[in-house]
A and B are shown apart, each in its own frame.
Chain A
Amino acid sequence: MTDNEQRRNAAQTAGDRLVARHVREDPFAAAFKATRMPMIVTDPNQDDNPIIFCNAAFEKLTGYSAEEVVGRNCRFLQGPNTSREAVARIRASVEAGSDIAVDILNYKKDGSEFWNALFLSPVRDDDNRIVYFFASQLDFTNVKSREADLAAARHKAEEEVAKNTERLQSALGAKTLLVHEVDHRVKNNLLTMASIVKLQARITKNQDHRQILMSVLNRVEALSTVQRKLFTLDDVSRFDIADVAREMVSDLVGAIKRPDIRLTHELHPVYVPAVKATPLALIVNELVGDAVRRGLSDGGGQIHVVVKRLNGHFLIRVEDTSIPVEVDIETAEIGRILLETSARQVGAKIERRTAGHRTTVDVTMLVESPQESEN
Protein backbone atom coordinates (compact mmCIF):
# COMPACT_ATOMS: atom_id res chain seq x y z
CA MET A 1 0.00 0.00 0.00
CA THR A 2 1.45 3.39 -0.93
CA ASP A 3 1.62 6.32 1.48
CA ASN A 4 -1.09 8.03 -0.49
CA GLU A 5 -3.42 5.08 -0.26
CA GLN A 6 -2.72 4.78 3.42
CA ARG A 7 -3.53 8.41 3.97
CA ARG A 8 -6.71 8.18 1.98
CA ASN A 9 -7.82 5.17 3.88
CA ALA A 10 -7.15 6.88 7.19
CA ALA A 11 -9.12 9.90 6.10
CA GLN A 12 -11.90 7.74 4.75
CA THR A 13 -12.07 5.88 8.03
CA ALA A 14 -12.23 9.13 9.96
CA GLY A 15 -15.01 10.31 7.66
CA ASP A 16 -16.91 7.07 8.06
CA ARG A 17 -16.54 7.33 11.80
CA LEU A 18 -17.95 10.80 11.73
CA VAL A 19 -20.91 9.71 9.63
CA ALA A 20 -21.48 6.60 11.70
CA ARG A 21 -21.88 8.74 14.78
CA HIS A 22 -24.97 10.22 13.19
CA VAL A 23 -28.00 8.03 12.70
CA ARG A 24 -29.72 8.23 9.33
CA GLU A 25 -32.50 10.34 10.77
CA ASP A 26 -30.13 12.92 12.26
CA PRO A 27 -31.49 16.09 10.72
CA PHE A 28 -28.13 17.92 11.03
CA ALA A 29 -26.26 15.28 9.08
CA ALA A 30 -29.07 15.11 6.52
CA ALA A 31 -28.97 18.88 6.11
CA PHE A 32 -25.18 18.83 5.72
CA LYS A 33 -25.44 16.26 2.97
CA ALA A 34 -28.42 17.76 1.17
CA THR A 35 -27.73 21.47 1.40
CA ARG A 36 -26.95 23.38 -1.78
CA MET A 37 -24.08 25.03 0.06
CA PRO A 38 -20.79 23.21 -0.73
CA MET A 39 -19.17 22.06 2.51
CA ILE A 40 -16.23 19.97 3.66
CA VAL A 41 -14.82 18.68 6.94
CA THR A 42 -11.07 18.24 7.50
CA ASP A 43 -9.19 16.42 10.24
CA PRO A 44 -6.33 18.49 11.66
CA ASN A 45 -5.20 15.59 13.79
CA GLN A 46 -4.09 13.69 10.71
CA ASP A 47 -1.01 14.52 8.74
CA ASP A 48 -1.52 17.59 6.50
CA ASN A 49 -5.08 18.20 7.67
CA PRO A 50 -6.84 16.16 4.96
CA ILE A 51 -10.45 16.39 3.87
CA ILE A 52 -12.40 13.59 5.52
CA PHE A 53 -15.81 14.45 4.19
CA CYS A 54 -17.40 16.53 1.44
CA ASN A 55 -21.03 16.95 0.51
CA ALA A 56 -22.72 16.60 -2.89
CA ALA A 57 -22.83 20.35 -3.42
CA PHE A 58 -19.05 20.46 -3.09
CA GLU A 59 -18.71 17.71 -5.69
CA LYS A 60 -21.04 19.59 -7.97
CA LEU A 61 -19.19 22.87 -7.55
CA THR A 62 -15.65 21.59 -8.01
CA GLY A 63 -16.24 18.66 -10.36
CA TYR A 64 -14.29 16.36 -8.08
CA SER A 65 -15.93 13.24 -6.60
CA ALA A 66 -15.76 12.54 -2.87
CA GLU A 67 -13.35 9.74 -3.58
CA GLU A 68 -11.00 12.09 -5.33
CA VAL A 69 -10.90 14.66 -2.53
CA VAL A 70 -11.00 12.65 0.67
CA GLY A 71 -7.48 12.28 2.04
CA ARG A 72 -6.14 15.36 0.30
CA ASN A 73 -5.41 18.78 1.71
CA CYS A 74 -7.65 21.46 0.23
CA ARG A 75 -4.75 23.19 -1.47
CA PHE A 76 -5.51 21.26 -4.67
CA LEU A 77 -8.20 23.89 -5.21
CA GLN A 78 -5.49 26.55 -5.61
CA GLY A 79 -3.97 27.50 -8.92
CA PRO A 80 -1.66 29.97 -10.64
CA ASN A 81 -3.90 33.01 -10.11
CA THR A 82 -4.76 32.26 -6.51
CA SER A 83 -3.71 35.05 -4.19
CA ARG A 84 -0.72 33.96 -2.05
CA GLU A 85 -1.84 36.42 0.55
CA ALA A 86 -5.30 34.83 0.84
CA VAL A 87 -3.68 31.40 1.21
CA ALA A 88 -1.37 32.70 3.91
CA ARG A 89 -4.32 34.14 5.81
CA ILE A 90 -6.13 30.78 5.72
CA ARG A 91 -3.02 29.00 6.93
CA ALA A 92 -2.54 31.45 9.76
CA SER A 93 -6.16 31.03 10.78
CA VAL A 94 -5.87 27.22 10.84
CA GLU A 95 -2.72 27.46 12.93
CA ALA A 96 -4.38 29.87 15.33
CA GLY A 97 -7.55 27.77 15.43
CA SER A 98 -9.77 30.70 14.62
CA ASP A 99 -12.64 31.43 12.21
CA ILE A 100 -11.93 33.08 8.90
CA ALA A 101 -13.97 34.36 5.98
CA VAL A 102 -11.92 35.01 2.88
CA ASP A 103 -12.52 35.53 -0.83
CA ILE A 104 -10.18 33.35 -2.80
CA LEU A 105 -9.80 32.37 -6.47
CA ASN A 106 -9.99 28.55 -6.74
CA TYR A 107 -9.87 26.04 -9.57
CA LYS A 108 -12.33 23.32 -10.55
CA LYS A 109 -11.30 19.89 -11.76
CA ASP A 110 -11.62 21.04 -15.38
CA GLY A 111 -9.14 23.84 -14.69
CA SER A 112 -11.69 26.68 -14.79
CA GLU A 113 -11.50 29.39 -12.16
CA PHE A 114 -14.22 30.29 -9.67
CA TRP A 115 -14.41 32.88 -6.93
CA ASN A 116 -14.87 31.19 -3.59
CA ALA A 117 -16.26 33.01 -0.56
CA LEU A 118 -14.65 30.59 1.89
CA PHE A 119 -15.72 30.32 5.50
CA LEU A 120 -13.54 28.16 7.74
CA SER A 121 -14.22 27.35 11.37
CA PRO A 122 -12.69 24.91 13.89
CA VAL A 123 -14.92 22.34 15.60
CA ARG A 124 -13.93 21.66 19.22
CA ASP A 125 -14.70 18.75 21.53
CA ASP A 126 -15.71 18.92 25.21
CA ASP A 127 -12.08 19.46 26.18
CA ASN A 128 -11.89 22.37 23.78
CA ARG A 129 -9.49 20.57 21.51
CA ILE A 130 -9.89 21.07 17.81
CA VAL A 131 -11.20 17.85 16.33
CA TYR A 132 -12.29 19.05 12.89
CA PHE A 133 -12.30 22.02 10.63
CA PHE A 134 -15.50 22.82 8.91
CA ALA A 135 -15.43 24.84 5.67
CA SER A 136 -18.16 26.14 3.41
CA GLN A 137 -17.59 27.42 -0.10
CA LEU A 138 -19.78 29.88 -1.88
CA ASP A 139 -19.25 30.45 -5.58
CA PHE A 140 -19.63 34.16 -6.20
CA THR A 141 -18.02 34.25 -9.65
CA ASN A 142 -21.23 35.77 -11.02
CA VAL A 143 -21.03 38.65 -8.55
CA LYS A 144 -17.34 39.08 -9.35
CA SER A 145 -17.98 39.15 -13.08
CA ARG A 146 -20.90 41.53 -12.60
CA GLU A 147 -18.52 43.74 -10.63
CA ALA A 148 -16.04 43.51 -13.47
CA ASP A 149 -18.79 44.29 -15.98
CA LEU A 150 -19.87 47.26 -13.90
CA ALA A 151 -16.30 48.50 -13.59
CA ALA A 152 -15.84 48.14 -17.33
CA ALA A 153 -19.12 49.95 -17.98
CA ARG A 154 -18.17 52.69 -15.56
CA HIS A 155 -14.78 52.99 -17.17
CA LYS A 156 -16.39 53.26 -20.59
CA ALA A 157 -18.87 55.85 -19.35
CA GLU A 158 -16.08 57.85 -17.77
CA GLU A 159 -14.13 57.76 -21.00
CA GLU A 160 -17.24 58.90 -22.83
CA VAL A 161 -17.77 61.75 -20.37
CA ALA A 162 -14.13 62.80 -20.66
CA LYS A 163 -14.41 62.79 -24.44
CA ASN A 164 -17.63 64.80 -24.35
CA THR A 165 -16.21 67.23 -21.82
CA GLU A 166 -13.22 67.79 -24.05
CA ARG A 167 -15.51 68.36 -27.02
CA LEU A 168 -17.67 70.77 -25.02
CA GLN A 169 -14.65 72.61 -23.71
CA SER A 170 -13.28 73.11 -27.17
CA ALA A 171 -16.72 74.22 -28.40
CA LEU A 172 -16.96 76.62 -25.46
CA GLY A 173 -13.48 77.90 -26.23
CA ALA A 174 -14.53 78.59 -29.82
CA LYS A 175 -17.72 80.31 -28.61
CA THR A 176 -15.80 82.45 -26.14
CA LEU A 177 -13.37 83.42 -28.85
CA LEU A 178 -16.28 84.30 -31.12
CA VAL A 179 -17.97 86.40 -28.41
CA HIS A 180 -14.74 88.29 -27.78
CA GLU A 181 -14.26 88.81 -31.48
CA VAL A 182 -17.82 90.09 -31.91
CA ASP A 183 -17.52 92.29 -28.81
CA HIS A 184 -14.28 93.70 -30.16
CA ARG A 185 -15.87 94.45 -33.54
CA VAL A 186 -18.93 96.08 -31.97
CA LYS A 187 -16.63 98.30 -29.93
CA ASN A 188 -14.53 99.23 -32.93
CA ASN A 189 -17.62 99.87 -35.03
CA LEU A 190 -19.11 102.13 -32.36
CA LEU A 191 -15.88 104.09 -32.21
CA THR A 192 -15.76 104.22 -36.01
CA MET A 193 -19.34 105.56 -36.10
CA ALA A 194 -18.40 108.16 -33.52
CA SER A 195 -15.30 109.04 -35.54
CA ILE A 196 -17.33 109.53 -38.71
CA VAL A 197 -19.70 111.88 -36.90
CA LYS A 198 -16.75 113.71 -35.31
CA LEU A 199 -15.10 114.06 -38.72
CA GLN A 200 -18.27 115.49 -40.21
CA ALA A 201 -18.73 117.86 -37.26
CA ARG A 202 -15.14 119.01 -37.64
CA ILE A 203 -15.42 119.63 -41.38
CA THR A 204 -18.79 121.39 -41.42
CA LYS A 205 -18.86 125.19 -41.35
CA ASN A 206 -22.50 125.34 -40.36
CA GLN A 207 -22.98 125.77 -36.59
CA ASP A 208 -26.48 124.26 -36.65
CA HIS A 209 -25.26 121.19 -38.49
CA ARG A 210 -22.44 120.90 -36.06
CA GLN A 211 -24.84 121.03 -33.15
CA ILE A 212 -27.01 118.30 -34.67
CA LEU A 213 -23.98 116.12 -35.28
CA MET A 214 -22.81 116.58 -31.70
CA SER A 215 -26.29 115.60 -30.51
CA VAL A 216 -26.04 112.38 -32.54
CA LEU A 217 -22.51 111.80 -31.25
CA ASN A 218 -23.73 112.17 -27.67
CA ARG A 219 -26.22 109.30 -28.10
CA VAL A 220 -23.74 107.10 -29.97
CA GLU A 221 -21.33 107.64 -27.11
CA ALA A 222 -24.00 106.64 -24.58
CA LEU A 223 -24.22 103.32 -26.40
CA SER A 224 -20.42 103.12 -26.40
CA THR A 225 -20.36 103.49 -22.64
CA VAL A 226 -22.91 100.66 -22.31
CA GLN A 227 -20.89 98.40 -24.59
CA ARG A 228 -17.75 99.10 -22.59
CA LYS A 229 -19.52 98.15 -19.36
CA LEU A 230 -21.06 94.94 -20.69
CA PHE A 231 -19.22 91.72 -19.82
CA THR A 232 -17.24 93.40 -17.04
CA LEU A 233 -19.12 91.49 -14.34
CA ASP A 234 -18.51 87.77 -13.92
CA ASP A 235 -22.19 87.27 -14.63
CA VAL A 236 -22.44 88.60 -18.18
CA SER A 237 -26.23 88.59 -18.13
CA ARG A 238 -26.31 91.38 -15.52
CA PHE A 239 -25.42 94.98 -15.77
CA ASP A 240 -24.88 97.65 -13.12
CA ILE A 241 -26.76 100.76 -14.19
CA ALA A 242 -25.09 102.86 -11.46
CA ASP A 243 -21.70 102.05 -12.94
CA VAL A 244 -22.74 103.52 -16.31
CA ALA A 245 -24.30 106.55 -14.63
CA ARG A 246 -21.09 107.16 -12.65
CA GLU A 247 -18.98 107.09 -15.77
CA MET A 248 -21.36 109.36 -17.72
CA VAL A 249 -21.55 111.87 -14.89
CA SER A 250 -17.83 111.93 -14.19
CA ASP A 251 -17.02 112.23 -17.90
CA LEU A 252 -19.31 115.24 -18.01
CA VAL A 253 -17.98 116.81 -14.82
CA GLY A 254 -14.42 116.60 -16.11
CA ALA A 255 -15.19 117.87 -19.56
CA ILE A 256 -17.59 120.81 -19.18
CA LYS A 257 -15.12 122.81 -17.11
CA ARG A 258 -17.78 125.11 -15.80
CA PRO A 259 -17.23 125.76 -12.10
CA ASP A 260 -20.74 127.20 -11.91
CA ILE A 261 -22.21 123.79 -12.78
CA ARG A 262 -21.80 121.44 -9.86
CA LEU A 263 -22.52 117.76 -10.47
CA THR A 264 -23.00 115.50 -7.48
CA HIS A 265 -24.27 111.96 -7.26
CA GLU A 266 -25.56 109.22 -5.00
CA LEU A 267 -25.06 105.96 -6.86
CA HIS A 268 -25.73 102.47 -5.47
CA PRO A 269 -25.25 99.33 -7.54
CA VAL A 270 -28.48 98.27 -9.25
CA TYR A 271 -28.17 95.17 -11.36
CA VAL A 272 -30.46 94.85 -14.32
CA PRO A 273 -30.65 92.29 -17.12
CA ALA A 274 -28.10 93.14 -19.80
CA VAL A 275 -30.87 93.50 -22.42
CA LYS A 276 -32.18 96.55 -20.54
CA ALA A 277 -28.78 98.23 -20.40
CA THR A 278 -29.19 100.36 -23.51
CA PRO A 279 -32.60 101.95 -22.80
CA LEU A 280 -31.64 102.57 -19.16
CA ALA A 281 -28.34 104.17 -20.14
CA LEU A 282 -30.18 106.36 -22.64
CA ILE A 283 -32.59 107.41 -19.86
CA VAL A 284 -29.68 108.48 -17.62
CA ASN A 285 -28.01 110.18 -20.57
CA GLU A 286 -31.13 112.17 -21.52
CA LEU A 287 -31.90 113.25 -17.95
CA VAL A 288 -28.36 114.37 -17.18
CA GLY A 289 -27.88 115.82 -20.66
CA ASP A 290 -31.04 117.93 -20.37
CA ALA A 291 -30.02 119.32 -16.99
CA VAL A 292 -26.50 120.10 -18.18
CA ARG A 293 -27.71 121.74 -21.40
CA ARG A 294 -30.02 124.03 -19.42
CA GLY A 295 -27.26 124.74 -16.92
CA LEU A 296 -24.85 125.58 -19.72
CA SER A 297 -27.23 128.00 -21.40
CA ASP A 298 -28.32 129.38 -18.05
CA GLY A 299 -26.14 130.58 -15.24
CA GLY A 300 -25.01 127.16 -14.13
CA GLY A 301 -26.50 125.42 -11.11
CA GLN A 302 -26.49 122.27 -9.06
CA ILE A 303 -27.17 118.85 -10.63
CA HIS A 304 -27.67 115.80 -8.46
CA VAL A 305 -27.94 112.27 -9.88
CA VAL A 306 -29.34 109.37 -7.87
CA VAL A 307 -29.47 105.68 -8.78
CA LYS A 308 -30.72 103.36 -6.05
CA ARG A 309 -33.10 100.60 -5.09
CA LEU A 310 -36.34 101.53 -3.41
CA ASN A 311 -38.81 98.91 -2.08
CA GLY A 312 -38.66 96.50 -4.99
CA HIS A 313 -38.35 99.34 -7.44
CA PHE A 314 -35.33 101.14 -8.60
CA LEU A 315 -35.06 104.84 -9.00
CA ILE A 316 -33.12 107.08 -11.33
CA ARG A 317 -33.47 110.65 -10.13
CA VAL A 318 -31.93 113.76 -11.63
CA GLU A 319 -32.47 116.96 -9.72
CA ASP A 320 -31.24 120.34 -10.87
CA THR A 321 -31.48 124.01 -10.02
CA SER A 322 -30.96 125.21 -13.58
CA ILE A 323 -33.75 127.38 -14.88
CA PRO A 324 -36.32 125.03 -16.42
CA VAL A 325 -36.44 126.66 -19.80
CA GLU A 326 -36.15 124.71 -23.01
CA VAL A 327 -32.84 125.44 -24.67
CA ASP A 328 -34.21 124.98 -28.13
CA ILE A 329 -37.35 123.24 -29.21
CA GLU A 330 -35.68 120.64 -31.45
CA THR A 331 -33.11 119.56 -28.87
CA ALA A 332 -35.73 119.34 -26.16
CA GLU A 333 -38.06 117.38 -28.43
CA ILE A 334 -35.42 114.80 -29.33
CA GLY A 335 -34.44 114.44 -25.69
CA ARG A 336 -38.07 113.99 -24.67
CA ILE A 337 -38.80 111.37 -27.33
CA LEU A 338 -35.67 109.37 -26.51
CA LEU A 339 -36.47 109.49 -22.80
CA GLU A 340 -40.10 108.48 -23.20
CA THR A 341 -39.40 105.74 -25.72
CA SER A 342 -36.64 104.25 -23.61
CA ALA A 343 -38.84 104.38 -20.52
CA ARG A 344 -41.66 102.65 -22.38
CA GLN A 345 -39.27 99.98 -23.58
CA VAL A 346 -38.36 98.96 -20.03
CA GLY A 347 -41.79 99.71 -18.50
CA ALA A 348 -40.51 102.62 -16.42
CA LYS A 349 -42.58 105.51 -15.10
CA ILE A 350 -41.44 109.10 -15.53
CA GLU A 351 -42.47 111.71 -13.00
CA ARG A 352 -41.39 115.34 -13.36
CA ARG A 353 -41.79 117.92 -10.59
CA THR A 354 -40.89 121.57 -10.72
CA ALA A 355 -40.70 123.82 -7.65
CA GLY A 356 -39.24 127.23 -8.25
CA HIS A 357 -35.82 126.71 -9.79
CA ARG A 358 -35.69 123.09 -8.76
CA THR A 359 -36.58 120.43 -11.32
CA THR A 360 -36.78 116.81 -10.18
CA VAL A 361 -37.29 113.94 -12.61
CA ASP A 362 -37.89 110.47 -11.17
CA VAL A 363 -37.79 107.41 -13.37
CA THR A 364 -38.93 104.31 -11.50
CA MET A 365 -39.20 100.73 -12.61
CA LEU A 366 -39.77 97.36 -11.03
CA VAL A 367 -36.65 95.38 -10.19
CA GLU A 368 -37.40 92.04 -11.81
CA SER A 369 -35.75 89.72 -9.36
CA PRO A 370 -35.24 91.31 -5.93
CA GLN A 371 -32.92 88.49 -4.77
CA GLU A 372 -30.67 88.99 -7.70
CA SER A 373 -30.34 92.67 -7.07
CA GLU A 374 -29.41 92.02 -3.44
CA ASN A 375 -26.12 90.48 -4.52
Chain B
Amino acid sequence: MLLAMELENEVEMAGHQVIGTAATRDQAREAIAAQRPEFAFVDIHLQDGPTGIEVGRDLAAKNIPYVFVSGNIKKIPRDFAGALGAIEKPYTINGMKNALAYISGLIEGCVELNPPASLVLAEDVELIEAGPRI
Protein backbone atom coordinates (compact mmCIF):
# COMPACT_ATOMS: atom_id res chain seq x y z
CA MET B 1 0.00 0.00 0.00
CA LEU B 2 1.10 3.47 -0.89
CA LEU B 3 0.79 4.90 2.63
CA ALA B 4 2.88 2.08 4.10
CA MET B 5 5.49 2.48 1.38
CA GLU B 6 5.89 6.21 2.00
CA LEU B 7 5.96 5.68 5.77
CA GLU B 8 8.64 3.03 5.21
CA ASN B 9 10.65 5.58 3.25
CA GLU B 10 10.22 8.22 5.94
CA VAL B 11 11.35 5.78 8.64
CA GLU B 12 14.39 4.81 6.60
CA MET B 13 15.22 8.44 5.83
CA ALA B 14 15.33 8.97 9.58
CA GLY B 15 18.05 6.32 9.78
CA HIS B 16 16.08 3.24 10.80
CA GLN B 17 15.74 -0.15 9.16
CA VAL B 18 12.32 -1.45 8.19
CA ILE B 19 12.10 -5.22 8.66
CA GLY B 20 8.69 -5.62 7.09
CA THR B 21 5.17 -4.39 6.45
CA ALA B 22 1.95 -6.32 6.87
CA ALA B 23 -1.54 -5.79 5.46
CA THR B 24 -3.42 -8.23 7.71
CA ARG B 25 -3.27 -9.52 11.24
CA ASP B 26 -1.80 -12.87 10.15
CA GLN B 27 0.89 -11.18 8.06
CA ALA B 28 1.71 -9.02 11.05
CA ARG B 29 2.06 -12.09 13.29
CA GLU B 30 4.35 -13.80 10.79
CA ALA B 31 6.48 -10.68 10.42
CA ILE B 32 6.78 -10.28 14.19
CA ALA B 33 7.65 -13.97 14.61
CA ALA B 34 10.20 -13.95 11.76
CA GLN B 35 12.25 -11.07 13.06
CA ARG B 36 11.49 -9.38 16.34
CA PRO B 37 11.10 -5.64 15.67
CA GLU B 38 12.35 -3.00 18.08
CA PHE B 39 9.34 -0.87 17.30
CA ALA B 40 6.14 -0.97 15.24
CA PHE B 41 3.61 1.40 13.66
CA VAL B 42 0.15 -0.14 13.71
CA ASP B 43 -2.81 1.08 11.65
CA ILE B 44 -6.11 0.13 13.27
CA HIS B 45 -7.83 -0.64 9.98
CA LEU B 46 -6.04 -3.43 8.15
CA GLN B 47 -7.24 -5.33 5.10
CA ASP B 48 -9.04 -7.86 7.29
CA GLY B 49 -10.90 -5.24 9.33
CA PRO B 50 -10.14 -3.31 12.50
CA THR B 51 -7.64 -5.97 13.54
CA GLY B 52 -4.87 -3.48 14.28
CA ILE B 53 -5.93 -3.41 17.91
CA GLU B 54 -5.37 -7.18 18.20
CA VAL B 55 -1.99 -6.79 16.50
CA GLY B 56 -1.23 -4.13 19.09
CA ARG B 57 -2.16 -6.47 21.93
CA ASP B 58 0.07 -9.16 20.41
CA LEU B 59 2.97 -6.69 20.34
CA ALA B 60 2.27 -5.58 23.91
CA ALA B 61 2.25 -9.23 25.03
CA LYS B 62 5.73 -9.59 23.52
CA ASN B 63 6.85 -6.31 25.12
CA ILE B 64 7.47 -4.69 21.74
CA PRO B 65 6.78 -0.95 21.92
CA TYR B 66 4.51 0.46 19.25
CA VAL B 67 2.23 3.35 18.35
CA PHE B 68 -1.10 3.32 16.60
CA VAL B 69 -1.45 5.25 13.36
CA SER B 70 -5.11 6.05 12.95
CA GLY B 71 -7.59 8.45 11.42
CA ASN B 72 -9.81 8.08 14.45
CA ILE B 73 -8.02 8.15 17.78
CA LYS B 74 -11.34 7.82 19.58
CA LYS B 75 -11.60 4.24 18.34
CA ILE B 76 -8.52 3.21 20.30
CA PRO B 77 -9.47 1.30 23.47
CA ARG B 78 -9.19 3.21 26.72
CA ASP B 79 -6.12 1.26 27.82
CA PHE B 80 -4.50 2.02 24.43
CA ALA B 81 -3.93 -1.77 24.11
CA GLY B 82 -0.46 -1.29 25.52
CA ALA B 83 0.55 1.25 22.87
CA LEU B 84 2.93 4.13 23.65
CA GLY B 85 0.51 6.45 21.99
CA ALA B 86 -0.96 7.28 18.62
CA ILE B 87 -0.11 9.35 15.57
CA GLU B 88 -3.26 10.71 14.04
CA LYS B 89 -3.75 10.50 10.31
CA PRO B 90 -3.28 12.42 8.09
CA TYR B 91 0.11 13.13 9.64
CA THR B 92 2.54 15.58 8.06
CA ILE B 93 6.15 14.92 7.09
CA ASN B 94 7.31 17.15 9.93
CA GLY B 95 4.89 15.61 12.39
CA MET B 96 6.09 12.11 11.58
CA LYS B 97 9.72 13.22 11.70
CA ASN B 98 9.25 14.70 15.17
CA ALA B 99 7.34 11.67 16.43
CA LEU B 100 10.07 9.36 15.12
CA ALA B 101 12.79 11.39 16.79
CA TYR B 102 10.91 11.27 20.09
CA ILE B 103 10.20 7.54 19.85
CA SER B 104 13.77 6.58 18.97
CA GLY B 105 14.96 8.77 21.85
CA LEU B 106 12.61 6.91 24.20
CA ILE B 107 13.75 3.51 22.97
CA GLU B 108 17.35 4.51 23.47
CA GLY B 109 16.45 5.33 27.04
CA CYS B 110 16.24 9.09 26.93
CA VAL B 111 13.07 9.94 28.88
CA GLU B 112 13.56 13.68 29.13
CA LEU B 113 12.36 14.56 25.65
CA ASN B 114 9.21 16.56 25.15
CA PRO B 115 6.62 14.66 23.17
CA PRO B 116 5.74 16.39 19.87
CA ALA B 117 2.22 17.62 19.09
CA SER B 118 1.87 14.97 16.42
CA LEU B 119 2.10 12.13 18.95
CA VAL B 120 -0.81 11.56 21.30
CA LEU B 121 0.55 9.70 24.31
CA ALA B 122 -1.32 6.91 26.03
CA GLU B 123 -2.81 8.13 29.27
CA ASP B 124 -1.19 5.34 31.20
CA VAL B 125 2.25 6.78 32.03
CA GLU B 126 3.51 3.48 33.45
CA LEU B 127 3.04 1.79 30.11
CA ILE B 128 4.94 4.55 28.38
CA GLU B 129 7.88 4.16 30.73
CA ALA B 130 7.80 0.36 30.80
CA GLY B 131 7.59 -0.06 27.05
CA PRO B 132 10.94 1.30 25.86
CA ARG B 133 13.05 -0.31 28.60
CA ILE B 134 12.72 -3.78 27.12
Which residues does A use to contact B, with CB under 8 Å?
A: 180, 183-184, 187-188, 190-192, 194-196, 198-199, 202, 217, 221, 224-225, 227-228, 246-247, 250-252, 254-255
Contacts and interface: CB of A to CB of B under 8 A. Distances in A.
A191 B94 contact: no
B36 interface: no
A228 B91 CA distance: 8
A202 B2 CA distance: 13
Contact of B91 (A191, A199, A202): A191
Given A217-B93, A228-B88, A228-B89, 19 more contacts: A180-B72, A184-B71, A190-B90, A191-B3, A192-B2, A194-B6, A194-B92, A198-B6, A198-B9, A198-B10, A221-B90, A221-B92, A225-B92, A227-B90, A250-B98, A251-B92, A251-B116, A251-B118, A254-B94
A266 B45 CA distance: 37
The 9 A-B pairs with the shortest beta carbon distances in the complex, nearest first, are A254-B98, A255-B94, A191-B90, A224-B90, A187-B71, A251-B94, A195-B6, A221-B92, A190-B90
Nearest to B6: A195
Nearest to B10: A198
A227 B95 CA distance: 14
A70 to B, nearest CB: 81
Nearest to A180: B72
A136 B45 CA distance: 79
B90 A251 contact: no
B117 A228 contact: no
Given A183-B72, A192-B2, A195-B3, A252 B94 contact: yes
Contacts of B57: none
Contacts of A251: 92, 94-95, 98, 116-118
A254 B90 contact: no
22 contacts: A184-B45, A184-B71, A184-B72, A187-B90, A188-B71, A188-B90, A191-B89, A194-B90, A199-B2, A199-B5, A202-B9, A217-B93, A228-B88, A246-B117, A247-B117, A250-B116, A251-B92, A251-B95, A251-B116, A254-B101, A255-B94, A255-B98
A188 B89 contact: yes
A227 B91 CA distance: 10
Secondary structure class of chain A's binding surface, majority of residues: helix
A125 B89 CA distance: 96
Contacts of B3: 188, 191-192, 195
Contacts of A227: 90
A251 B95 CA distance: 5
B72 A195 contact: no
Contact of B5 (A180, A184, A195, A217): A195
Contacts of B72: 180, 183-184
Interface string B72-96: 1000000000000000111111110
Given A195-B3, A195-B5, A224 B91 contact: yes
Nearest to A223: B90
A228 to B, nearest CB: 5
A117 B83 CA distance: 73
Contacts of B88: 228
A162 to B, nearest CB: 29
Contacts of B10: 198
Interface string B1-16: 0110110011000000
A52 to B, nearest CB: 81
Given A190-B90, A224-B90, A255 B97 contact: yes
A187 B71 CA distance: 6
A221 B93 contact: yes
Contacts of A217: 93
Interface in B81-134: 88-95, 97-98, 101, 116-118
Nearest to A250: B117
Given A246-B117, A250-B117, A254-B116, A224 B2 contact: no
A308 B41 CA distance: 36
Contacts of B95: 247, 251
A31 to B, nearest CB: 79
Contacts of B117: 246-247, 250-251
Contacts of B91: 191, 224
A252 B116 CA distance: 11
A184 B93 CA distance: 19
Contacts of B9: 198, 202
